[in-house]
Amino acid sequence: MGNLYTASIFLSLMSSLEFAKNSVGDTFLFFAYGSGSKAKIFEGELMPGYEKIIRMWKTSTILSDRRQVTFDQYIAMRTQRMTQPISVNSLVYQVSSGITETNRFERIYKLRNT
């Protein structure tokens, strides 16, 4: 999964929750670092009802719907010139990205109503 950096820890959590044996009360330690001097570390605990949420993710389906993008498509996404979502089946879709005054690599996502 390209360009995930810190987000990769959440993809790892999703995989663990879907495919490993877990129980209410289990704790997870999250740690991610970038190429600079920044790091994130925090802990999470599984709460009652987590199984229902996991069933809604459908991670395997979402990952199987991934599409490889060309360099030109990637640049269009990063500079806010993308006019339509790359995947029409995705539950999460990117509504904008690019360079702003306050954030050089801003991306905004929305959750598609199902």
HSE value, Cβ hemisphere, 13 Å, CA-based, for 76: 11
Q: What is the pLDDT of residue 45?
A: 94
Find out whether 62 and 90 touch, Cβ atoms under 8 Å. yes
Angle separating helix axes 8-19 and 50-57, nearest 10 degrees: 110
At 108, phi and psi to the nearest 5? -120, 130
Find out whether 35 and 11 touch, Cβ atoms under 8 Å. no
Q: What is the pLDDT of residue 25?
A: 95
Q: What does the domain layout of the chain look like in residue ranges?
A: 1-64, 68-114
Q: What is the pLDDT of residue 2?
A: 54
Q: Pick out the chain residues at pLDDT < 50.
A: none
pLDDT tens digits, residue range 36-61? 677 778 899 999 999 998 888 877 77
